[in-house]
């Protein structure tokens, strides 16, 4: 009887601790109810599942502890022009959510689907003079992935500094892909993001890497929604194709893209990327005013979610949204 009483007491204490953590950290009422019920109804296992899959944030300060040197071109905020004064409320809103400043003088070119993006990306890689950084969630071992692999290995063999970061789960679930090992054999510094090979990797196994970044010589960048996989080539006879948009960017904004990669690379490889081959002085290339908005479980705010709701609230005339993920957690917001 004593052992049973101790077991019940231990379960009650652990369940209470789990529920307190759920209430303190979950923002949605439905998620709070689900995780709390799991902690109560399934002794120990429910709490373990919550620790592995329900904790949505890494420890505070993780990103700051891996922040590379602050580059002048990255942190140079711009003053609002008279044409932007009617957007002052929106600018203040975004300033309160993210640390990256507005950045003027950029050229932004949309690249539709794989046929528009991949040739441009490969040409940029093959023209590299100093450095290439590439990160992606999926890097398939198909003809397209091997074409990228060939280009990356070729420039690495020319003495170009190349760093590639691929999500561990992204390549493991979708296809048994030896792409990272092939890149390494070709002379590329390639890493899996967050493999379950350490206590932190196991603890945060549900935190996956969905960024898609390519920066060449620190001055030409690509980002958007496309992984490296032939399914984005919509003209091919696939049963399922992925339609999406990527962007080629030039100008001061590229330093913000490079900085995001540098933080993630330091976390994964313990190598600090700094200096002119990664962060050269950047000149204005166009007229677009933009800023990078990094998001993830290592940041205090849910940047993309809060930014999207804030932008909607600042709208005066119309709203156009193109996104695969739009799931507001507030029921009253969904009804409106």
DSSP letter for each residue of 27-87: --HHHHHHHHHHHHHSTTHHHHHIIIII---PPTTHHHHT--PPPHHHH---PPPGGGGGG
Rounded-to-integer distance, Cα 240 and Cα 255, Å: 35
Provide the β-strand partners of residue 111.
246
Report how far residue 133's alpha carbon sits from residue 211's, in angstroms, rounded to the nearest whole number: 12
Residue 7 CB neighbours (<10 A): 12
| Predicted local confidence at residue 64, as pLDDT | 47
Is pLDDT of 334 > 70?
no
Two structure tokens written together for 40 = 């109560």
CA distances from 214 to 121, 157, 218, 285 (A): 8, 19, 10, 18
Please say whether the beta carbons of 32 and 23 come within 8 A.
Answer: yes
Residues 177 and 170: their CA atoms lie apart, in Å, by: 10
User: What are the pLDDT digits (tens) for 236-269?
Assistant: 766 677 788 999 999 999 999 999 999 999 988 9
Q: How far is CA 91 from the centre of its chain?
A: 22
Domain boundaries, the chain: 2-54, 62-301
Phi, psi of 326 (to 5 degrees): -145, 90
Band (pLDDT 50/70/90 cuts) for residue 173 is low
Is the predicted pLDDT of residue 158 greater than 90, yes or no?
yes
Predicted confidence (pLDDT) at residue 216 exceeds the cutoff of 80: yes
Least confident of 81-90, 212-221, 223-232, 255-264: 81-90
| 315 CB-near residues (< 8 Å, 6+ apart) | none
Report whether 307 contacts 326 (CB < 8 A). no
Backbone angles phi, psi at 11, to 5 degrees: -65, -40
- What's the angle, vertex CA 151, arms to CA 150 and CA 155, rounded to 5? 115
Least confident of 9-13, 166-170, 215-219, 288-292: 9-13
Range 26-47 average pLDDT: 70
Q: Highest mean pLDDT range out of 32-36, 112-116, 202-206, 233-237?
A: 112-116
The residue that leads in pLDDT, 25 or 100, is: 100
Q: How far apart are alpha carbons 260 and 68 in whole angstroms?
A: 10
pLDDT score of 148 more than 90: yes
Overall pTM > 0.85? no
Mean pLDDT of the chain: 80
* CB atoms closer than 10 angstroms to residue 92: 11
Topology of 62-301 in CATH? Endonuclease; Chain A (3.30.870)
């Amino acid at each position: 009887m004593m052992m049973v009483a101790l077991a019940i007491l231990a379960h009650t204490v652990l369940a209470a601790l789990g529920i307190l953590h759920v209430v303190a950290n979950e923002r949605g009422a439905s998620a709070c109810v689900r995780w709390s019920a799991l902690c109560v109804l399934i002794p120990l296992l429910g709490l373990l599942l919550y620790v592995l899959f329900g904790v949505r944030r890494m420890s505070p300060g993780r990103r700051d502890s891996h922040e590379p040197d602050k580059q002048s071109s990255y942190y140079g905020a711009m003053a609002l022009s008279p044409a932007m004064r009617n957007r002052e409320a929106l600018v203040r809103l975004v300033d309160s959510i993210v640390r990256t400043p507005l950045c003027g003088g950029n050229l932004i070119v949309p690249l539709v689907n794989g046929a528009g993006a991949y040739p441009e990306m490969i040409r940029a890689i093959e023209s590299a003079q100093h450095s290439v950084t590439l990160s992606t969630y999926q890097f398939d071992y198909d003809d397209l992935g091997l074409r990228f692999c060939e280009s990356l290995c070729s420039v690495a063999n020319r003495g170009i500094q190349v760093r590639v970061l691929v999500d561990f789960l992204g390549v493991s679930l979708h296809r048994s892909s030896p792409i990272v090992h092939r890149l390494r054999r070709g002379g590329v510094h390639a890493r899996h993001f967050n493999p379950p090979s350490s206590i932190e990797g196991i603890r945060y196994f549900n935190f996956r890497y969905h960024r898609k970044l390519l920066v060449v010589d620190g001055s030409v960048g690509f980002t958007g929604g496309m992984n490296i996989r032939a399914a984005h080539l919509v003209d091919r006879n696939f049963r399922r194709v992925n339609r999406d948009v990527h962007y080629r960017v030039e100008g001061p904004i590229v330093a913000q893209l490079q900085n995001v990669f540098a933080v993630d690379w330091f976390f994964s490889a313990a190598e600090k990327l700094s200096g002119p081959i990664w962060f050269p002085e950047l000149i204005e290339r166009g007229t677009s005013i933009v800023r990078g908005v990094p998001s993830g479980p290592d940041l205090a705010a849910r940047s993309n979610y809060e930014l999207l709701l804030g932008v909607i609230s600042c709208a005066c005339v119309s709203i156009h949204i193109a996104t695969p993920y739009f799931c507001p957690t507030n029921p009253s917001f969904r009804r409106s």
